[in-house]
Structure 1
């Protein structure tokens, strides 16, 4: 089914549920980038955090762009940024600003580095913090679905598994089913537009309507036809369009549903977009 709805005619605003515009490759043209996301119908951005030193700059971006909300956390591939006081730093940052709507991005990544125990030592305190503060988590999980499911299922068994989202989904339908059973959301990024991403395509077709989000993960993973170039929040419209095509729905329906889902997960700070 072709999606014939023009992006500028969207009735429901889109939410880019995961972006990194704090990166230096946005320094020269961020105002133009912002105008493009507004023109594309993006009403809210959720800015992820990969390590604590980013937090002041992300907070400044939220001051500059009122549509931006953010998370605080440490990426699994950044163990050098994990110190003894890091949980306290993240806790203080989350409590200091109501625009902090999640903990993350946190997770496991065994694609290139097999330091599972080191990554779990960073992951577990962040999951504990999310439970303590009643905030959702943004989960990065690459080549680590089995280990992540084991960790989260153990926590669910003792009532210590936070709600959250599997960001930039690239796993299999069977893996997705495991995370859905735990109550997590599934977020699709530019890779859902890649022709050979057949597992991701299948997941976009199978995920329940009330459990998916859309994102860019910019500046990474620009969608087709911009693949290989810098990604930016406006391009979340192309992600939503591809999800609509895969699900046999209109772009309007996907925009409305994914925005509703993001608001349900991340709470009142994302409402009124």
Structure 2
């Protein structure tokens, strides 16, 4: 990874997953050696919250979100909003609501997903927290919902995580005030639209992430992903933007720290 440790923030990871059960301390050693000074752990369903909280106790550089993923409707209960609200207000290390959103690639239950999404967006607004949005093959529906909410006067901050849309879609989400986060997919040779998005996204509006254990970047594609590999994402984004790795590391870390109220200076 190199001797000079440039600051990096992995803005979306899932190290609570069982893929890390056997070697998490080694994984943490590698992310620290790679210069990853803060991580944002995304939540996909309420049952994960105690485990993620325990990880935040174990690793002081970790902050986390609480939420229900659009592909986990079976985990939504009548009291889910109360559970999420209680978790978010009980721990100052909860800095976002999500991973929420829409996924029409693996599911077709749009109305059910919209109901769960809307409830969580309302909670984020109530608590004045940013959202982490998963949106796969559902940009039109997501933009329609966000426009409807904007007309009604709702406020929104957050990030389009693991970006894989078109440049035109990106511009629309940017207009709603959202950030764009690039994962290992930006390193894939055929991800041409994602490459173009990385080139044209404003400097103060993008992040980098791993979404580990998924989507390991080139040159580790097909392997288990982990937070240290966010450096490969940053390297590819730097190439695409014609910038130095240092510029991308500093800019994306500052962007993530500002969006999610991360104590970035404490880790640099």
TM bucket (normalised to shorter chain) is over 0.9
| TM-superposed deviation, 1:269 | 4.2
2:132 counterpart of 1:138: yes
Q: Do the aligned residues in 1 keep the contact of 2:156 with 2:176 (CA within 8 Å)?
A: no
Which residue is equivalent to 2:4?
9
1:199 is matched with which residue: 193, 197, 200? 193
Q: Do the aligned residues in 2 keep the contact of 1:99 with 1:269 (CA within 8 Å)?
A: no
Which residue is equivalent to 1:3?
none
Distance 1:131 1:155 in 2: 11
2:250 counterpart of 1:245: no
Distance 1:268 1:226 in 2: 28
Change (3 A) 1:19 1:211: same
TM-score scaled to structure 2, two decimals?
0.98
Which residue is equivalent to 1:121?
115
Which residues of structure 1 form unaligned runs of 5+?
A: 1-5
Distance 2:248 2:134 in 1: 23
SS in 2 for 1:199: helix
| TM-superposed deviation, 1:16 | 0.1
2:241 counterpart of 1:225: no
| TM-superposed deviation, 1:160 | 1.1
RMSD of aligned Cα (Å): 1.0
What aligned pairs does 1:1-273 form with structure 2 within 5 A after superposition? 7-11=2-6, 13-273=7-267
| TM-superposed deviation, 1:7 | 3.9
| TM-superposed deviation, 1:156 | 1.6
Of 91-100 and 259-268, deviating more is 259-268
Deviations 1:231-256 (A, max 9, x none): 00000000000000000000000000
Q: Do the aligned residues in 1 keep the contact of 2:5 with 2:33 (CA within 8 Å)?
A: no
| TM-superposed deviation, 1:212 | 0.3
TM-score scaled to structure 1, two decimals?
0.96
Deviations 1:110-153 (A, max 9, x none): 00211100100110010000000000000000000000011111
SS in 2 for 1:129: helix
Change (3 A) 1:271 1:125: farther
Of 151-160 and 14-23, deviating more is 151-160
Distance 2:158 2:102 in 1: 15
Distance 1:183 1:158 in 2: 16
Distance 2:106 2:62 in 1: 32
Distance 2:109 2:2 in 1: 43
SS in 2 for 1:84: coil
> Which structure ranks higher in relative contact order (CA pairs < 8 Å, sequence separation ≥ 6)?
1
| TM-superposed deviation, 1:158 | 2.2
Change (3 A) 1:211 1:194: same
SS in 2 for 1:69: strand
